[in-house]
Protein backbone atom coordinates (compact mmCIF):
# COMPACT_ATOMS: atom_id res chain seq x y z
CA UNK A 1 0.00 0.00 0.00
CA UNK A 2 1.47 3.36 -1.01
CA UNK A 3 1.72 6.13 1.57
CA UNK A 4 -1.20 8.53 1.61
CA UNK A 5 -1.12 12.30 1.73
CA UNK A 6 -2.27 13.74 5.05
CA UNK A 7 -4.17 16.98 5.47
CA UNK A 8 -5.19 19.16 8.39
CA UNK A 9 -8.72 20.00 7.30
CA UNK A 10 -9.91 21.89 10.37
CA UNK A 11 -8.42 23.52 13.45
CA UNK A 12 -9.92 24.71 16.73
CA UNK A 13 -8.97 26.36 20.03
CA UNK A 14 -10.51 26.56 23.46
CA UNK A 15 -9.60 29.09 26.16
CA UNK A 16 -11.10 28.96 29.64
CA UNK A 17 -12.81 32.06 31.05
CA UNK A 18 -11.91 35.66 30.24
CA UNK A 19 -8.35 36.78 29.38
CA UNK A 20 -6.27 37.95 32.34
CA UNK A 21 -3.99 40.98 32.10
CA UNK A 22 -0.56 41.30 33.68
CA UNK A 23 -1.99 43.50 36.42
CA UNK A 24 -4.58 40.87 37.37
CA UNK A 25 -2.26 37.87 37.61
CA UNK A 26 -1.63 37.93 41.35
CA UNK A 27 -5.38 38.24 41.99
CA UNK A 28 -5.55 34.67 40.65
CA UNK A 29 -2.15 33.29 41.61
CA UNK A 30 -1.89 35.04 44.98
CA UNK A 31 1.04 36.62 46.80
CA UNK A 32 3.91 34.58 48.18
CA UNK A 33 4.68 35.58 51.77
CA UNK A 34 2.08 38.38 51.34
CA UNK A 35 4.51 40.34 49.17
CA UNK A 36 4.38 41.41 45.55
CA UNK A 37 6.84 39.47 43.44
CA UNK A 38 10.17 41.16 42.70
CA UNK A 39 10.77 39.03 39.62
CA UNK A 40 7.32 39.47 38.02
CA UNK A 41 8.05 42.83 36.40
CA UNK A 42 11.41 41.69 35.01
CA UNK A 43 10.08 38.41 33.63
CA UNK A 44 7.02 40.03 32.04
CA UNK A 45 9.11 42.77 30.48
CA UNK A 46 11.28 40.15 28.80
CA UNK A 47 8.63 37.63 27.80
CA UNK A 48 6.32 40.11 26.06
CA UNK A 49 3.14 38.42 27.30
CA UNK A 50 0.25 40.87 27.76
CA UNK A 51 -2.55 38.48 28.68
CA UNK A 52 -3.20 34.80 29.39
CA UNK A 53 -5.98 32.41 30.42
CA UNK A 54 -6.51 30.47 33.65
CA UNK A 55 -8.90 27.58 34.23
CA UNK A 56 -9.42 28.75 37.80
CA UNK A 57 -11.36 31.40 39.68
CA UNK A 58 -9.66 33.99 41.89
CA UNK A 59 -10.03 31.75 44.94
CA UNK A 60 -8.24 28.93 43.11
CA UNK A 61 -11.35 26.87 42.39
CA UNK A 62 -11.02 25.01 39.10
CA UNK A 63 -13.42 25.86 36.29
CA UNK A 64 -12.20 23.20 33.83
CA UNK A 65 -9.98 20.14 33.88
CA UNK A 66 -7.23 19.72 31.30
CA UNK A 67 -9.07 16.82 29.65
CA UNK A 68 -12.29 18.80 29.56
CA UNK A 69 -10.61 21.73 27.77
CA UNK A 70 -9.13 19.35 25.18
CA UNK A 71 -12.55 17.80 24.59
CA UNK A 72 -14.13 21.23 24.14
CA UNK A 73 -11.55 22.15 21.49
CA UNK A 74 -12.22 18.82 19.74
CA UNK A 75 -15.97 19.43 19.82
CA UNK A 76 -15.42 22.72 18.00
CA UNK A 77 -13.87 20.79 15.10
CA UNK A 78 -17.30 19.28 14.50
CA UNK A 79 -19.48 22.14 15.75
CA UNK A 80 -20.44 19.76 18.60
CA UNK A 81 -22.37 17.52 16.18
CA UNK A 82 -22.55 13.85 17.28
CA UNK A 83 -22.36 12.54 13.71
CA UNK A 84 -19.06 14.36 13.21
CA UNK A 85 -17.62 13.08 16.47
CA UNK A 86 -18.52 9.54 15.40
CA UNK A 87 -16.24 9.90 12.38
CA UNK A 88 -13.11 10.00 14.58
CA UNK A 89 -11.09 6.79 14.19
CA UNK A 90 -8.08 7.80 16.30
CA UNK A 91 -7.59 10.26 19.15
CA UNK A 92 -4.05 11.42 19.97
CA UNK A 93 -3.74 13.90 22.86
CA UNK A 94 -0.54 15.49 24.20
CA UNK A 95 0.02 17.48 27.38
CA UNK A 96 2.65 18.13 30.05
CA UNK A 97 0.03 18.65 32.77
CA UNK A 98 -2.40 15.71 32.88
CA UNK A 99 -5.09 15.92 35.54
CA UNK A 100 -3.87 12.66 37.07
CA UNK A 101 -1.02 10.17 36.69
CA UNK A 102 -3.45 7.37 35.85
CA UNK A 103 -5.57 6.89 33.74
CA UNK A 104 -3.78 8.46 30.79
CA UNK A 105 -4.70 11.94 29.62
CA UNK A 106 -6.11 10.90 26.25
CA UNK A 107 -8.51 8.31 27.65
CA UNK A 108 -9.83 11.01 29.98
CA UNK A 109 -10.36 13.27 26.96
CA UNK A 110 -12.15 10.37 25.25
CA UNK A 111 -14.35 10.06 28.33
CA UNK A 112 -15.55 13.63 27.79
CA UNK A 113 -16.64 12.65 24.25
CA UNK A 114 -19.30 9.98 24.82
CA UNK A 115 -20.72 10.46 21.32
CA UNK A 116 -17.57 8.93 19.79
CA UNK A 117 -17.09 5.24 19.09
CA UNK A 118 -14.72 2.80 20.79
CA UNK A 119 -11.50 3.90 19.06
CA UNK A 120 -7.72 3.86 19.39
CA UNK A 121 -6.49 6.47 21.86
CA UNK A 122 -2.88 7.45 22.57
CA UNK A 123 -1.28 9.82 25.11
CA UNK A 124 2.21 11.08 24.18
CA UNK A 125 3.95 12.44 27.27
CA UNK A 126 6.55 15.17 27.50
CA UNK A 127 6.45 18.93 27.69
CA UNK A 128 6.05 21.36 24.76
CA UNK A 129 6.83 18.66 22.20
CA UNK A 130 4.03 16.40 23.50
CA UNK A 131 1.53 18.15 21.24
CA UNK A 132 3.73 17.63 18.19
CA UNK A 133 4.30 13.98 19.09
CA UNK A 134 0.52 13.62 19.26
CA UNK A 135 0.30 15.18 15.81
CA UNK A 136 3.00 12.90 14.42
CA UNK A 137 1.27 9.76 15.68
CA UNK A 138 -1.98 10.86 14.08
CA UNK A 139 -0.16 11.85 10.88
CA UNK A 140 1.63 8.51 10.58
CA UNK A 141 -1.58 6.60 11.27
CA UNK A 142 -3.37 8.38 8.43
CA UNK A 143 -0.34 8.24 6.13
CA UNK A 144 -0.01 4.46 6.59
CA UNK A 145 -3.68 3.90 5.81
CA UNK A 146 -4.46 2.56 9.29
CA UNK A 147 -7.17 5.22 9.61
CA UNK A 148 -8.60 7.85 7.31
CA UNK A 149 -9.72 10.35 9.97
CA UNK A 150 -7.84 11.26 13.15
CA UNK A 151 -7.85 14.01 15.73
CA UNK A 152 -4.76 15.37 17.46
CA UNK A 153 -4.97 17.74 20.41
CA UNK A 154 -2.68 19.49 22.85
CA UNK A 155 -3.65 21.24 26.07
CA UNK A 156 -2.33 22.53 29.37
CA UNK A 157 -3.72 23.42 32.79
CA UNK A 158 -0.91 24.55 35.08
CA UNK A 159 -2.48 27.58 36.74
CA UNK A 160 -3.57 25.70 39.86
CA UNK A 161 -0.02 24.67 40.78
CA UNK A 162 1.28 28.20 40.12
CA UNK A 163 -0.80 29.57 42.99
CA UNK A 164 0.97 30.89 46.08
CA UNK A 165 -0.56 28.25 48.36
CA UNK A 166 1.65 25.70 46.58
CA UNK A 167 4.68 27.42 48.11
CA UNK A 168 3.37 28.52 51.54
CA UNK A 169 4.86 25.64 53.54
CA UNK A 170 8.25 26.12 51.89
CA UNK A 171 8.28 29.85 52.73
CA UNK A 172 7.20 29.14 56.31
CA UNK A 173 10.01 26.62 56.74
CA UNK A 174 12.58 29.08 55.39
CA UNK A 175 11.32 31.72 57.82
CA UNK A 176 11.69 29.32 60.71
CA UNK A 177 15.25 28.62 59.63
CA UNK A 178 15.82 32.39 59.35
CA UNK A 179 16.75 32.05 55.71
CA UNK A 180 15.55 34.34 52.94
CA UNK A 181 11.80 33.54 52.82
CA UNK A 182 11.42 33.83 49.07
CA UNK A 183 10.92 31.21 46.40
CA UNK A 184 13.93 30.48 44.21
CA UNK A 185 13.85 32.06 40.76
CA UNK A 186 13.79 28.61 39.12
CA UNK A 187 10.33 28.12 40.60
CA UNK A 188 8.95 31.64 40.39
CA UNK A 189 10.15 32.30 36.83
CA UNK A 190 7.46 30.11 35.26
CA UNK A 191 4.60 31.65 37.29
CA UNK A 192 4.66 34.65 34.95
CA UNK A 193 4.96 32.64 31.71
CA UNK A 194 2.30 29.94 31.61
CA UNK A 195 -1.28 29.93 30.40
CA UNK A 196 -4.12 27.40 30.14
CA UNK A 197 -5.93 26.32 26.99
CA UNK A 198 -6.34 23.67 24.31
CA UNK A 199 -6.05 23.25 20.57
CA UNK A 200 -7.12 20.50 18.16
CA UNK A 201 -6.55 19.45 14.55
CA UNK A 202 -8.72 17.24 12.33
CA UNK A 203 -6.56 15.08 10.04
CA UNK A 204 -7.79 13.32 6.91
CA UNK A 205 -6.40 11.47 3.91
CA UNK A 206 -8.44 13.81 1.70
CA UNK A 207 -8.29 17.61 1.51
CA UNK A 208 -11.34 19.80 1.98
CA UNK A 209 -13.51 19.93 -1.12
CA UNK A 210 -14.73 23.36 -0.07
CA UNK A 211 -12.15 25.60 1.58
CA UNK A 212 -8.51 25.39 2.51
CA UNK A 213 -6.45 22.50 3.90
CA UNK A 214 -2.91 22.18 5.20
CA UNK A 215 -0.96 19.25 3.74
CA UNK A 216 1.57 17.84 6.18
CA UNK A 217 4.73 17.35 4.12
CA UNK A 218 6.93 16.01 6.94
CA UNK A 219 7.59 16.05 10.68
CA UNK A 220 10.95 15.41 12.34
CA UNK A 221 11.89 15.15 16.00
CA UNK A 222 15.17 15.00 17.89
CA UNK A 223 16.30 14.75 21.53
CA UNK A 224 19.59 15.86 23.07
CA UNK A 225 18.97 14.22 26.44
CA UNK A 226 22.09 12.14 25.87
CA UNK A 227 24.17 15.31 26.10
CA UNK A 228 22.55 17.62 28.67
CA UNK A 229 21.07 17.26 32.16
CA UNK A 230 17.42 18.19 32.82
CA UNK A 231 16.51 21.85 32.47
CA UNK A 232 12.78 21.93 33.27
CA UNK A 233 11.24 19.43 35.65
CA UNK A 234 8.25 18.78 37.89
CA UNK A 235 7.44 16.31 40.68
CA UNK A 236 11.19 16.00 41.28
CA UNK A 237 14.19 18.07 42.31
CA UNK A 238 17.64 18.37 40.81
CA UNK A 239 20.64 17.14 42.79
CA UNK A 240 24.16 18.56 42.72
CA UNK A 241 25.26 16.03 40.10
CA UNK A 242 22.45 17.11 37.74
CA UNK A 243 20.30 14.01 38.21
CA UNK A 244 16.66 14.22 39.28
CA UNK A 245 15.31 12.87 42.54
CA UNK A 246 11.73 11.68 42.12
CA UNK A 247 8.89 12.85 44.33
CA UNK A 248 8.50 9.15 45.24
CA UNK A 249 11.85 9.32 47.03
CA UNK A 250 10.78 12.20 49.32
CA UNK A 251 8.65 11.87 52.40
CA UNK A 252 5.11 13.27 52.16
CA UNK A 253 6.21 16.12 54.44
CA UNK A 254 9.18 16.97 52.20
CA UNK A 255 7.00 16.91 49.08
CA UNK A 256 4.89 19.68 50.62
CA UNK A 257 7.52 21.69 52.49
CA UNK A 258 9.89 21.83 49.52
CA UNK A 259 7.12 22.25 46.89
CA UNK A 260 8.51 19.25 45.03
CA UNK A 261 5.39 19.06 42.87
CA UNK A 262 5.98 22.57 41.50
CA UNK A 263 7.34 23.13 38.01
CA UNK A 264 10.93 24.43 37.91
CA UNK A 265 13.37 25.61 35.26
CA UNK A 266 17.15 25.98 35.23
CA UNK A 267 17.33 29.31 33.40
CA UNK A 268 21.10 29.11 32.89
CA UNK A 269 20.81 25.86 30.95
CA UNK A 270 17.83 27.26 29.07
CA UNK A 271 19.76 30.27 27.81
CA UNK A 272 22.83 28.20 26.94
CA UNK A 273 21.27 25.42 24.88
CA UNK A 274 17.70 26.07 23.72
CA UNK A 275 18.68 27.98 20.56
CA UNK A 276 22.00 26.29 19.86
CA UNK A 277 20.70 22.74 19.55
CA UNK A 278 17.37 23.22 17.82
CA UNK A 279 18.34 25.58 15.04
CA UNK A 280 21.34 23.56 13.95
CA UNK A 281 19.07 20.52 13.60
CA UNK A 282 16.51 22.62 11.70
CA UNK A 283 19.09 23.37 9.01
CA UNK A 284 19.85 19.66 8.68
CA UNK A 285 16.13 18.81 8.40
CA UNK A 286 15.50 21.38 5.69
CA UNK A 287 18.54 20.16 3.75
CA UNK A 288 17.38 16.54 4.10
CA UNK A 289 13.99 17.35 2.56
CA UNK A 290 15.42 19.60 -0.12
CA UNK A 291 13.87 22.81 1.20
CA UNK A 292 15.25 26.33 1.29
CA UNK A 293 14.11 28.95 3.77
CA UNK A 294 13.28 31.09 0.75
CA UNK A 295 10.29 28.79 0.13
CA UNK A 296 8.80 29.53 3.55
CA UNK A 297 5.90 31.98 3.61
CA UNK A 298 5.06 31.64 7.31
CA UNK A 299 7.42 30.75 10.16
CA UNK A 300 5.73 29.67 13.41
CA UNK A 301 8.31 29.26 16.19
CA UNK A 302 7.00 28.30 19.60
CA UNK A 303 8.73 30.64 22.07
CA UNK A 304 8.30 30.65 25.82
CA UNK A 305 9.37 34.27 25.80
CA UNK A 306 9.92 37.14 23.34
CA UNK A 307 13.37 37.29 24.95
CA UNK A 308 14.45 34.55 22.53
CA UNK A 309 13.20 36.18 19.34
CA UNK A 310 16.37 38.13 18.51
CA UNK A 311 18.51 35.16 19.52
CA UNK A 312 16.57 32.94 17.12
CA UNK A 313 16.90 35.50 14.34
CA UNK A 314 20.67 35.77 14.93
CA UNK A 315 21.06 31.98 14.89
CA UNK A 316 19.13 31.71 11.63
CA UNK A 317 21.40 34.33 10.07
CA UNK A 318 24.47 32.50 11.40
CA UNK A 319 23.24 29.30 9.71
CA UNK A 320 22.54 31.09 6.44
CA UNK A 321 18.79 30.69 6.97
CA UNK A 322 17.57 34.22 7.62
CA UNK A 323 13.75 34.48 7.65
CA UNK A 324 12.39 38.03 7.29
CA UNK A 325 10.44 39.21 10.33
CA UNK A 326 7.27 39.77 8.28
CA UNK A 327 7.09 35.99 7.75
CA UNK A 328 7.12 35.22 11.48
CA UNK A 329 3.82 34.48 13.20
CA UNK A 330 3.23 34.06 16.93
CA UNK A 331 0.41 34.86 19.34
CA UNK A 332 2.45 34.58 22.54
CA UNK A 333 1.59 38.12 23.65
CA UNK A 334 -2.18 37.54 23.50
CA UNK A 335 -2.59 33.95 24.72
CA UNK A 336 0.54 33.36 26.79
CA UNK A 337 2.72 30.25 26.79
CA UNK A 338 0.35 27.27 26.62
CA UNK A 339 3.18 24.74 26.47
CA UNK A 340 2.28 21.77 24.29
CA UNK A 341 -0.82 23.60 23.06
CA UNK A 342 0.96 26.73 21.82
CA UNK A 343 1.74 25.52 18.30
CA UNK A 344 -1.86 24.34 17.82
CA UNK A 345 -3.13 27.75 18.90
CA UNK A 346 -0.78 29.52 16.48
CA UNK A 347 -1.78 27.30 13.56
CA UNK A 348 -5.47 27.73 14.39
CA UNK A 349 -5.21 31.52 14.47
CA UNK A 350 -3.25 31.66 11.22
CA UNK A 351 -5.51 29.09 9.50
CA UNK A 352 -8.56 31.22 10.24
CA UNK A 353 -6.92 34.60 9.64
CA UNK A 354 -7.65 34.89 5.91
CA UNK A 355 -3.93 35.46 5.28
CA UNK A 356 -3.08 32.08 3.75
CA UNK A 357 -2.80 31.49 0.03
CA UNK A 358 -2.67 28.17 -1.78
CA UNK A 359 0.84 26.92 -2.40
CA UNK A 360 2.36 28.72 0.59
CA UNK A 361 4.62 26.76 2.91
CA UNK A 362 4.42 26.97 6.71
CA UNK A 363 7.34 25.96 8.91
CA UNK A 364 6.58 24.90 12.48
CA UNK A 365 9.28 24.73 15.13
CA UNK A 366 8.66 23.53 18.68
CA UNK A 367 11.48 23.38 21.23
CA UNK A 368 11.21 21.66 24.60
CA UNK A 369 13.64 22.68 27.31
CA UNK A 370 12.90 19.81 29.71
CA UNK A 371 15.92 17.98 28.38
CA UNK A 372 16.22 19.73 25.03
CA UNK A 373 14.01 18.10 22.42
CA UNK A 374 12.66 19.62 19.20
CA UNK A 375 10.03 18.86 16.58
CA UNK A 376 9.85 20.51 13.15
CA UNK A 377 7.10 20.28 10.55
CA UNK A 378 6.47 21.60 7.06
CA UNK A 379 2.92 22.28 5.88
CA UNK A 380 1.67 23.35 2.47
CA UNK A 381 -1.52 25.34 2.01
CA UNK A 382 -3.77 23.63 -0.51
For 287-323, write each residue's pLDDT tens digit. 999 999 999 999 999 998 899 999 999 999 999 999 9
pLDDT at 293: 93
Give Rg (Cα) of the chain.
Answer: 21
Report percent pLDDT > 70 for the chain. 95
**CA separation for the pair 236, 128 (Å, rounded):** 18
pLDDT: is 110 or 176 the higher one?
110
pLDDT at 35: 77
- Residue 181 pLDDT grade (very low, low, confident, very high; cuts 50, 70, 90): very low
Which residue intervals of the chain bear CATH 3.40.47.10? 7-217, 218-226+266-381
Sequence-ordered list of residues with C-beta below 8 angstroms from that of 96, at least 6 positions apart, any chain? 125, 126, 127, 128, 130, 156, 158, 234, 339, 340, 370
pLDDT at residue 178 is higher than 60: no
pLDDT at 170: 56
218-226+266-381 carries CATH number 3.40.47.10: yes
- pTM value is 0.94
Select the highest-mean-pLDDT range: 190-194, 262-266, 331-335: 331-335
pLDDT digits (tens, 9 = 90+) for 71-108: 999 999 999 899 999 999 999 999 999 999 999 999 99
User: Which CATH number is 7-217 given?
Assistant: 3.40.47.10
The β-bridge partners of 380 are 215, 361
**CA separation for the pair 229, 94 (Å, rounded):** 23
pLDDT digits (tens, 9 = 90+) for 156-175: 999 998 998 887 665 555 45
CA 222 to chain CA centroid, nearest Å: 16
Residues 143-156: what's their mean pLDDT? 98
pLDDT at 189: 76
Amino acid sequence: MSAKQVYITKTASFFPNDPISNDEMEEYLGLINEKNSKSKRIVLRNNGIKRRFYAIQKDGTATHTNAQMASLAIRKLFNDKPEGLKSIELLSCGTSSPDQMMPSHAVMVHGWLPETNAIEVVSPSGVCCAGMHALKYAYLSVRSGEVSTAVASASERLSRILRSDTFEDEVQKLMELEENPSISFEKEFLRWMLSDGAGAFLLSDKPNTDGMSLRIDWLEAVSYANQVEPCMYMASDKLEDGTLKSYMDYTPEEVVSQSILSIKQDVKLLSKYIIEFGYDKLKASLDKHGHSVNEISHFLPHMSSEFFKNKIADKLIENGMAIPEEKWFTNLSTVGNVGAGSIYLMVDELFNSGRLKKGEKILLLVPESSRFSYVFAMLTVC
